[in-house]
Structure 1
Amino acid sequence: MVKMGTVWDRTIEVLNGRTGMIAPIALLGMLLPSVIRDGYVAFAAPGTMSFALIGSILAIGTLIAMLWSQLAIVAIATDPATDAASARRDAGARVLPALGITVLITLVAALLVVPPMIVLIQSGFDFTAAANGRSAQMTPPSAGVAGFIALYSLAYLLVAIWIGARLVLLNPVILNERLGIGAIRRSVQLTRGLTWRIIGVLILFAIVMLVSTWAAQSVTGIVFRLALGADGIGTATFLSGVAATIVTTAFTALAAVFTAQLYVATREKHAVP
C-alpha cells in the first residue's frame, strides 16, 4: 500500500541530498523563462502584430522550458544514480512527447468549455460587451441558462480535479517508461486506488502555494510601490510578480520531486506479484 506520508518523507530526503542539482535546473528552466516572458508583456508596447507574435513565441518557449526542467527534476529524483548532465539529456529527449501530450490534454479541456459558450451565445449573451467591461448594459441570462452554466461549471471542476489526480504521474511515466500517448493509460493504471488521497494532496498543495504566492506578491508589491513611487507602479508590479514567480518555481520543483517519488512507490507496488 502506498502511503503519502512515506512518499513525502522520501521527497524530503531527495531535497536534502540533491537540491544543489535541482536548483540550477529550476532557475534555468522555470524561473528565468517566466521572468523574461512577464518582463516582455509588462514593458513592451501592446496592441501590435509584433507584440502578439513575440509574446506567443515566448509563451511557447516558456512552456517547453518548464516541461524540460520538470522532466529533468523527475529524472534526478527518480534514480539516485542519475547526475545532472544525464538528467538534462534525458529530459531533452522526452520534452517533445511531453509537449504533445500537454497540448492534447489542453485541447480536450478547451473543447469541453465549448458547450456552455454555445448555450450563452444562443441565449443572446454579448461576449464583446463583457470583455469591454459593459456588463451593466447586458441582458442577464435566464434562470435556466444560469443554472445550466453553474451545474456544468461545477461538474467540469470536479472532473478536472479527478482527471488531474489520475494523470499526476504523466511526466515520470513519459520520462522513465519512454511512452507517448500510452503514458495517459499508464498513469491512470498506476494511480488506481489512490485517487482520493492524491486529490487531498493536490488540494492542500494548491492552497499552500496560492497563499504563499499571494503573500509574497502582496508584501513585495507594497515595498516596491513605496520605494519606486507613483511613477514606478509598472516596475513595482513586475518586480512583485517576479517574487511570486520565485515562490511558484520552488513549489513546482517540489511537486516534480513528489510526483517522482510517488511514481517510484506506485511502480514498486505494481511490481509486487
Structure 2
Amino acid sequence: MVKMGTVWDRTAEFLSDNIAAIVPVALLAFFVPASISGNFAAAATNAGAGLKIVLQVLQILFALLAVWGSLVITAMALDIASERSAANIATRRFVPAVIVSVVMFAVAFVLVLPIPGILASNGYDMMAIANGEPVAIASGVAWSVGLYALVLLAVLLWVIARLIVATPVVVRENRILSALGESWSLTRGAALRIVGVIVLFAIVSWVAGLAAQTVFGVIFALVAGNDGDGVTLSSVMTSIVVAAVQSAFMVIPPAFTAKLYLALAAQAGLRHGDAAA
C-alpha cells in the first residue's frame, strides 16, 4: 500500500535537492504571471471593453504558461530528464496535457450546470447573479442548491483524486486521453488517502495566501497609502508578496503527483508480478 507520508518525503527530498533548477521555472511560469495578474481586478476597474479583453487574454496565456511550468517540474520529478531536457519534454507534451485538462474541466463544468439550471427554472435572473448583483433566493431553492453543491464537492474531490496522476502519465507514457483511464486504474484503493492530502494542502495553501494578502496588504497600505481605485503602489507590492507565497505552493503539486505516480506504478507492477507468479 502506498503511504502518503512516504510520497511527501520523496517530494520534499526532490524539491530540496533540485531547488536551483526549480527556482527559474517557478519565477518564469508562476511568480511573474501571478505578480502581474494579481493587479488585473484593480486594473479592470472602470476600464474599457478593449482593456478588459486584453486582460482576459493575458489571464489565459498566464494559465497556459503555468501548465508548461508544471510539466517541466513533473518531468524533472519523474527522473526522466535534466533541467534543460525537461523543458523540451514539457514543450512536446504541452498540447496533450492541455487537451486532458480541457476534458477534465469540461466534465466538471457539466457537473456544475444543474446549479444554474435549478436557479433559472425557478425564475431567477442568471445574468444578475453572474454580475454579482444581490438576489434574494427562497429558502427551499437555497437548500436544493446547497445540498447539490455539497454532493458535487464530494464527487469532484473523488474524481480529482482518481485522476490526479493523469499529467505524469501524459508526460512519461506519451498518452493523451488514455492517461485518464490509466490514472483511474492506478489510484484504485488510494482515493480516500489522496482526498485527505488534497483537502489538507488546499487548506494550508489558502490560509497562507490569505494571511499574506491580509497582513502585507494592511502593512503596505499604511506605508505606501491606498488612495483611490485601480492599481496602486500598495496593491502592486501586495500582489508581489502574495505571488511569492503562491509560487512556493505551486511547485509542490506537480512534484507530488509525479512521485505519487511513481509509487502507484511501482505498486501496480508488484501486483501484476505477484499475479503472474
TM-score above 0.5, yes or no: yes
Aligned mate of 1:150, from 139, 146, 149: 146
Report % sequence identity.
37
* Aligned equivalents of 2:43, 2:142: Cα separation in 1: 39
* Map 1:43-122 → 2, pairs under 5 A: 43=43, 46-79=46-79, 82-122=81-121
Matched residue, 1:191? 187
1:178 to 174, 178, 195: 174
Uncovered stretches (5+) of structure 1, i.e. residues with no partner: none
Which range moves more in the overlay, 94-103 or 231-240? 231-240
Distance 1:40 1:19 in 2: 30
The residue that corresponds to 2:160 in the other structure is 164
**1:128 Cα deviation from its structure 2 partner:** 4.1
Cα distance change of structure 1 residues 108 and 18 upon mapping to structure 2, 3 Å threshold = same
Name the residue aligned to 2:222. Answer: 226
CA distance in 2, matches of 1:52, 1:195: 40
Q: Structure 1 residue 60: deviation in Å?
A: 1.6
**Greater CA deviation, 112-121 or 40-49?**
40-49
User: Displacement of 1:59 after TM fit?
Assistant: 1.6
TM-score with structure 1 length normalisation? 0.91
Paired residue for 1:217, among 213, 217, 225? Answer: 213
Amino acid aligned to 2:59: A
How far off is 1:100 after superposition? 1.4
Relative to 1, partners in 2 of residues 1:85 and 1:148: Cα closer, same or farther, differing over 3 Å? same
Deviation at 1:133, TM superposition (A): 5.7
The one-letter code matched in structure 1 to 2:268 is H
Q: Call closer, same or farther: CA 1:29–1:139 in 2, change over 3 Å.
A: closer
In structure 2, relative to structure 1, the CA distance for the partners of 1:126 and 1:5 (3 Å cut) is same
* TM-score after normalising by structure 2: 0.90
Q: Is the 2:7–2:256 Cα contact (8 Å) retained in structure 1?
A: yes
Q: Which runs of 5+ in 2 are unaligned?
A: none
Question: Secondary structure of the residue that 1:112 maps to in structure 2?
Answer: helix
Is 1:202 equivalent to 2:201 in the alignment? no
> Conserved in 2, the CA contact under 8 Å of 1:173 and 1:183?
yes
Bigger relative contact order, structure 1 or 2 (CA pairs below 8 A, ≥6 apart) = 2
User: Matched residues in 1 for 2:63 and 2:213: separation?
Assistant: 22
Residue matched to 1:267: 265
Q: Deviations over 1:248-272 (max 9, x none)?
A: 1111101211111111111111111
Q: Among 244, 252, 255, which residue is 1:254 paired with?
A: 252
2:116–2:126 contact (8 Å) kept in structure 1: no
Does 124-133 or 263-272 show the bigger shift? 124-133
Given that 1:174 and 1:183 are in contact with CA atoms closer than 8 Å, whether structure 2 keeps it comes out as yes
> Matches of 1:172 and 1:68 in 2, distance apart?
13
State the AA in 2 paired with 1:100.
Answer: I
Letter in 1 for 2:173: E
Paired AA for residue 122 in structure 1: S
